[in-house]
Homo-oligomer: A and B are copies of this chain.
Amino acid sequence: MTREELFANIQRKRSFLCVGLDTDVNKIPEHLFDESNDPIFEFNKAIIDATADLCVAYKPNLAFYESIGMAGMDILERTIEYIRGKYPDQFIIADAKRGDIGNTSTMYARAFFGDMNVDSVTVAPYMGEDSVKPFLGYEGKWVTLLALTSNKGAFDFQFMEDANGERLFEKVLKKSKEWGDENNMMYVVGATKAEMLADIRKIVPNNFLLVPGVGAQGGSLSEVAHNGMNAQCGLLVNSSRAIIYADSTTEYATKAREAAQKVQQEMDELLKEKGL
């Protein structure tokens, strides 16, 4: 998907919501296990059907699928196929946080952009250029590079400062601009630091930012929009648990839709404020 197509989807759907499909076998409604032989996939399908008109992206986190072995990987593949087939305008991000030496990153890129056919993969920057670049060689595909994450451990290394006061996450943003551009690279920027989005926008004014941590993790959507939105929106705001686990009864899909709709309506207002 191109940047223009992604922006067009955001304008048309009045939403820059990304729904995180962090489907945990221990958290999905219990009745699904009685009703289906394939409860995790049924859950994903119901959540997707309930939210697809309210969001522009889905982000399955690989760990949740890998943790149940090959059955999990099979569910992930079928989930992606389901989205591709029924909702082709969705941007799919494999939240895998990969990154390895050049020839190995090439293998990962082939896995995600070839067979699995997602639009983007999250990539960790620690190993530098040759670990990231192999993901940039695919037409219409994207790297979502970790810059500033939303977890407590982000403070351990990402805020390290050099003698000039430049922090590691800023170095990651600056250096990576030599590898890709706003048409194939977006960045993970944690919403718990919404006030830092303005600083980040100075370094990467045109790139999309994937902002996790709104909702269950407590970030404020309007702060994120006011500090981070650019003329092509430039934001994908992720919500996982607050939407997919909004309810654990037979009403879970309806409640997930209501949670997503609440976010989408706020996003519509924020887009209007910006004249988009």
Contact = CB atoms under 8 A, between A and B. Distances in A.
Given A67-B107, A149-B101, A161-B162, A155 B128 contact: yes
Nearest to A115: B69
B97 A99 contact: yes
Interface string A105-134: 101101100111000000011111111100
Nearest to A64: B107
A63 interface: yes
A44 interface: no
A102 interface: yes
A168 B163 contact: no
Given A110-B67, A168-B168, A104 B153 contact: no
27 contacts: A22-B104, A24-B107, A63-B104, A63-B108, A64-B107, A69-B77, A95-B100, A97-B98, A97-B124, A97-B127, A101-B149, A124-B124, A125-B126, A125-B157, A127-B146, A127-B153, A128-B151, A128-B153, A128-B154, A128-B156, A129-B153, A130-B153, A157-B171, A160-B162, A161-B162, A161-B163, A162-B163
